[in-house]
């Protein structure tokens, strides 16, 4: 095939193949990138002209660029730096939590950069990522790890597209393995009472607050006496704790909330206050500034429960148990979402919908009553 190119018209290149036939391809100059784009060779001058027309329109709309852009490894490094500095935020506008930043950094460092870090950010395709996911599955990588790794890449591309550094997000449409964890353990009130009663001071108050107010582990670590109003019987949550960063903001804006105390929790916290002999600093801290260690507290609790012939439970499971009590008590779902610190009622339904009582019979009765009223009204109108 001849490699001699000759241009007979603006934006159209021509060449002759080995059989003497003329081939054409369109070109379009990107003024911003100061580089020329070239289309595929074709035997149709009209097709080459159509490619050029489309390319020029896309260049004008900034949905096409001749700039191949940065490497994914470089973009990942900048992305992690931006979220650490708070310059890049979550979809809801919140700063990324230290634990999320560490998870994202680990995903890029261990899996994404070694696999596709040398690719241009704009050149990665959905098919490339799907093959990568399939390879990880074949290697036995945990589905939740795969999902979290792709979520890190998804966050990078969301910001890259928003800032015009690439024009498409290849993470859209990826099929990920299902994460099927075991259902969270939930204990009835009498069992929760026995679990708490079997604990020594100060673990009793920690676990009573998890069962009776549903605070997250980091929130339990960070709660201070100034947030506990024994007179109003409320706990104000406005801070969390990270094992490496120390005191941090709540998980999201919804994490700033006021949670009511049950009578049982009020009595235990009041006793805890008397024993602690201080009215400032952390409620569950080893010192006024240093929080308790969840791992150490869990180990002490495990030993106490083993001695009492009780099955150990985790702090997060105690939080789920609290949510189940709210639902069983008939508390309105919006209030439950608020007390749990969830970002939306929809999330609360997705997370705890399986705990809602089965009201099919009640709803059928309501529908029957409506239909009967409607029919009675129609009969009276006819009469």
pLDDT for 182 equals 53
**Residue-range domain boundaries for the chain:** 5-59, 72-162, 189-355
4 DSSP assignment: -
pTM of the model: 0.61
Q: Give the pairing of strands 228-229 and 257-260.
A: unpaired
241 DSSP assignment: E
Residues of the chain under the 50 pLDDT cut? 1-4, 7
pLDDT for 122 equals 87
pLDDT for 8 equals 55
Give which of 28, 12, 17 is closest to 63, Cα–Cα: 28
Alpha-carbon distance 17 to 240, whole Å?
Answer: 69
Q: Determine contact, residues 77/59, Cβ cutoff 8 Å.
A: no
Residue range 72-162 in CATH 3.20.20:
no
Q: Determine contact, residues 281/224, Cβ cutoff 8 Å.
A: yes
Q: Determine contact, residues 233/239, Cβ cutoff 8 Å.
A: no
Alpha-carbon distance 177 to 188, whole Å?
Answer: 33
Q: Determine contact, residues 240/248, Cβ cutoff 8 Å.
A: yes
Helix axes 189-197, 203-213, angle to 10 degrees: 160
Residues 6+ apart with CB under 8 A from 228: 235, 236, 269, 273, 283
Q: Cα 67–70–76 angle (5° rounding)?
A: 150
Give which of 366, 359, 221 is closest to 298, Cα–Cα: 221
pLDDT for 2 equals 47
Which residues on adjacent β-strands are paired with residue 248? 240
**pLDDT tens digit sequence for 60-109:** 887 777 777 789 999 999 999 999 998 988 887 888 888 889 999 999 99
What is the CB neighbour count within 10 angstroms for residue 300?
Answer: 17
Quote the radius of gyration of the chain (alpha carbons, Å): 31
Give the CATH fold of the 189-355 domain: hpI Integrase; Chain A (1.10.443)
Q: What does 308-369 look like in DSSP terms, one character per residue? A: TT-----HHHHHHHHHHHHHHTT--HHHHHHHHT-S-HHHHHHHHGGGS---HHHHHHHHHH
Alpha-carbon distance 96 to 115, whole Å?
Answer: 25
pLDDT for 356 equals 65
């Amino acid at each position: 095939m001849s490699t001699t190119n000759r241009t007979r018209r603006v934006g159209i290149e021509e060449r002759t193949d080995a059989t003497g036939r003329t081939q054409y391809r369109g070109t379009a100059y990107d003024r911003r990138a100061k580089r020329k784009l070239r289309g595929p060779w074709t035997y149709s001058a009209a097709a080459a002209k159509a490619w050029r027309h489309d390319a020029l329109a896309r260049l004008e709309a900034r949905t096409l660029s001749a700039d191949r852009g940065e490497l994914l490894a470089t973009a990942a490094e900048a992305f992690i730096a931006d979220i650490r500095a708070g310059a890049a935020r979550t979809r809801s506008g919140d700063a990324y939590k230290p634990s999320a930043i560490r998870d994202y950094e680990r995903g890029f460092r261990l899996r994404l950069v070694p696999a596709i870090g040398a690719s241009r950010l704009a050149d990665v395709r959905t098919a490339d990522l799907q093959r990568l996911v399939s390879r990880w599955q074949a290697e036995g990588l945990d589905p939740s790890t795969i999902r979290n790794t792709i979520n890190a890449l998804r966050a990078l591309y969301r910001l890259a597209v928003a800032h015009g550094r690439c024009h498409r997000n290849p993470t859209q449409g990826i099929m990920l393995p299902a994460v099927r964890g075991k259902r969270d353990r939930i204990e009835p009130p009498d069992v929760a009472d026995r679990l708490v009663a079997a604990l020594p001071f100060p673990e009793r108050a920690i676990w009573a607050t998890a069962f009776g107010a549903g605070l997250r582990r980091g929130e339990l670590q960070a709660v201070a006496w100034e947030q506990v109003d024994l007179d109003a019987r409320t706990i104000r949550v406005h801070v969390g704790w990270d094992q490496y960063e120390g005191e941090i903001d709540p998980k999201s804006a919804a994490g700033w909330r006021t949670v009511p105390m049950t009578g049982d929790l009020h009595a235990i916290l009041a006793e805890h206050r008397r024993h602690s002999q201080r009215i400032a600093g952390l409620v569950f801290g080893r010192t006024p500034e240093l929080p308790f260690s969840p791992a150490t507290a869990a180990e002490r609790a495990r030993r106490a429960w083993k001695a009492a012939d009780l099955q150990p439970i985790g702090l997060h499971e105690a939080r789920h148990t609290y949510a189940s009590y709210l639902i069983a008590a008939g508390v309105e779902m919006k209030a439950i979402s608020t007390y749990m610190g969830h970002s939306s009622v929809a999330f609360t339904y997705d997370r705890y919908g399986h705990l809602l009582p089965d009201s099919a019979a009640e709803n059928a009765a309501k529908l029957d009553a409506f239909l009967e009223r409607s029919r009675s009204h129609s009969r009276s109108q006819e009469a």
